[in-house]
């Protein structure tokens, strides 16, 4: 598998560690969230047949966390973004 790193270009998947669903970016605030909300964040994942947004970490590389949009059916990589940019776009800051 090859991931087209937005900063470094095409890199072999062996350089990366995969974490899973990119919804892990959307962490509720622990002081304000309801238990159910935090439970869903920690345990509940979609498992789609088709497009899936996943977190990949370039551990043997520049240590960027990436959001890779990938088809679980064909393994085609559709889009690769820096997770930091995605997090900011989803309203995360400090």
Of 47 and 91, CB closest to other proteins: 91
What is the smallest separation between the CB atom of 7 and other proteins, expressed in angstroms?
13
Percent of residues in the chain assigned helix, strand, coil, to nearest 5: 25, 35, 40
Applying CB under 8 A, the residues found at the interface with other proteins are 1-2, 13, 17, 19, 24-25, 27, 29-31, 33, 35, 38-39, 41-43, 55, 57, 59, 63-65, 73-77, 82-84, 86-88, 92-94
What length does the chain have? 94
Tokens of 81: 């973004």
Task: Spell 31-56 as b/e; 16+ CB within 10 A means b.
Answer: eeeeeeeeeeeeeeeeeeeeebbbbb
What is the smallest separation between the CB atom of 94 and other proteins, expressed in angstroms?
5
Of 27 and 79, CB closest to other proteins: 27
Of 64 and 69, CB closest to other proteins: 64
What is the smallest separation between the CB atom of 47 and other proteins, expressed in angstroms?
18
CB atoms within 10 A of CB 59: 12
């Amino acid at each position: 598998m090859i991931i087209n790193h937005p900063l470094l270009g095409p890199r072999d998947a062996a350089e990366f560690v995969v974490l899973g669903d990119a919804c892990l970016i959307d962490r509720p605030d622990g002081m304000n969230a309801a238990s159910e909300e935090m439970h869903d964040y920690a345990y509940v994942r979609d498992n789609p047949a088709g497009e899936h947004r996943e977190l990949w970490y370039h551990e043997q590389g520049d240590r960027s966390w990436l959001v890779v949009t990938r088809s679980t059916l064909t393994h085609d990589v559709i889009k690769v973004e820096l997770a930091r940019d995605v997090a900011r776009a989803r309203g995360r800051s400090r």
